[in-house]
Amino acid sequence: MRRPGLGLAAAIVAASTLTASCVSSISPGTGGPSRERTIVVGVSGAFAENQLVAEMYAQVLEHARYTVQREFALLSRESSQSALESGRIDLKPEYLSSLLLFLDPNAEPSGDPADVARQVGERLGAIGITLLTPSPAEDTNQFVANEKTAQAFDLTTLSSLAGVADRLTIGAPPECPLRPFCLPGLRDVYGILFEDYVPLDAGGPETVAALNSDEVQIGLMFSTDPRIEENGFIPLLDDKDLQDAENITPVIRTEKLNAEVRRVLDELSARLTSDTVTELVGKVVIDEQDVTVVAQRFLASNGLV
């Protein structure tokens, strides 16, 4: 979901993941990694949260003495899902309702993670992929206004945006015009039609810069992004419940799944909450700490490595 030239925070993520991609562990008692104990972790989109969670997956598996290869430069869900189905990667973090509607545009997501997980699991199971236990951490699309715009039009909710959107420009990822939780959902649920749309990164430094410069007045970010508060952006309440359950959840090729892999990934997922993820992402995008280091410290402090 990112494009080239993403600025400092993305450069930090890219540098850390390039470093991490060189790291692997060797199965004990062998001259090299065995295919059975090699797992390729991939990630869709170069934004810090995805990179961070994928790095956590990699590190807990390495701690369990699996050989891990990293494919952290996949550009979108389209590319990562294709890679998963083809066997180029074996494991990735996903978001429940977004994945469900990607797999089946006619599906009916909801705010109930268990219901959405059931629907996703059925569809993935048919193609040899398993959905593991969703984490408590949820990250939904968050539409925000810059402070100037929010004050000028008294914006607090998406409903309040509907009457003035035709005078405003939104910045959002290139996929936004096609995604049901993005521009089509704003139109269908709220009647929101913008004067203009600017394709930007997925809630990353391009979006932050465009909001701060007033190039765009409304931006798509993510609910766990600490830069919303840091920059004084105003989250617009989703008062008609456009967004559905988006719990962060591992998906893995079934042929790579065993009781041990399930256990270490489930233990990690159980430790992830929305507040925790927001705090950890802040260490990367605000404090400019290395993704690999942030992941390792969190895992160590929770007894996971």
Question: How confident is the model over 236-279, as pLDDT tens digits?
Answer: 999 999 999 999 999 999 999 999 999 999 999 999 999 999 99
Neighbouring CB atoms inside 10 A of 212's CB total: 16
pLDDT at 76 over 90: no
Residues of the domain holding 64: 8-138+244-301
Gap between the Cα atoms of 158 and 161, Å rounded = 5
- Rounded to the nearest angstrom, the gap between the alpha carbon of residue 4 and the centroid of all alpha carbons in its chain is 18
Inside any domain, residue 81: yes
pLDDT at 33 over 50: yes
Q: Are residues 190 and 155 part of one domain?
A: yes
- pLDDT average, residue stretch 297-304: 98
Gap between the Cα atoms of 30 and 13, Å rounded = 33
Inside any domain, residue 3: no
Helix (H, G, I), strand (E, B) or coil at 244: coil
Helix (H, G, I), strand (E, B) or coil at 279: helix
Using CA atoms, how far residue 38 sits from 41, 43, 58, 255, 280, in Å, is 10, 17, 11, 12, 27
Q: Are residues 266 and 134 part of one domain?
A: yes
Per DSSP, helices labelled H in the chain are 8-21, 48-63, 77-86, 96-103, 113-125, 147-153, 158-162, 183-185, 205-213, 227-230, 259-271, 274-285, 291-301
Using CA atoms, how far residue 146 sits from 158, 217, 273, in Å, is 14, 6, 27
CATH of the domain at 59: 3.40.190.10
224 Rama class: left (phi>0) / alpha (psi -120 to 50) / beta: alpha
Q: Of 186, 215, 235, which residue constitutes the final position of a domain? A: 235
pLDDT given for residue 29 in this prediction: 40
What percent of the chain stands above pLDDT 70? Answer: 88
pLDDT at 13 over 70: no
Q: Are residues 252 and 131 part of one domain?
A: yes
Q: Are residues 132 and 14 part of one domain?
A: yes
Q: Are residues 134 and 150 part of one domain?
A: no
Q: Are residues 250 and 133 part of one domain?
A: yes
Q: Of 235, 269, 288, which residue constitutes the final position of a domain? A: 235
pLDDT given for residue 261 in this prediction: 98
Positions of E strands within 179-246: 196-199, 218-222, 234-235
pLDDT at 197 over 80: yes
Q: H-helix or E-strand containing 93?
A: strand 91-95
- pLDDT average, residue stretch 135-145: 95
Q: Are residues 67 and 42 part of one domain?
A: yes
How many structural domains is the chain composed of? Answer: 2
Q: Which tokens in the block code for residue 262?
A: 């399930």
CATH of the domain at 150: 3.40.190.120
Helix (H, G, I), strand (E, B) or coil at 15: helix
pTM: 0.76
pLDDT given for residue 45 in this prediction: 67
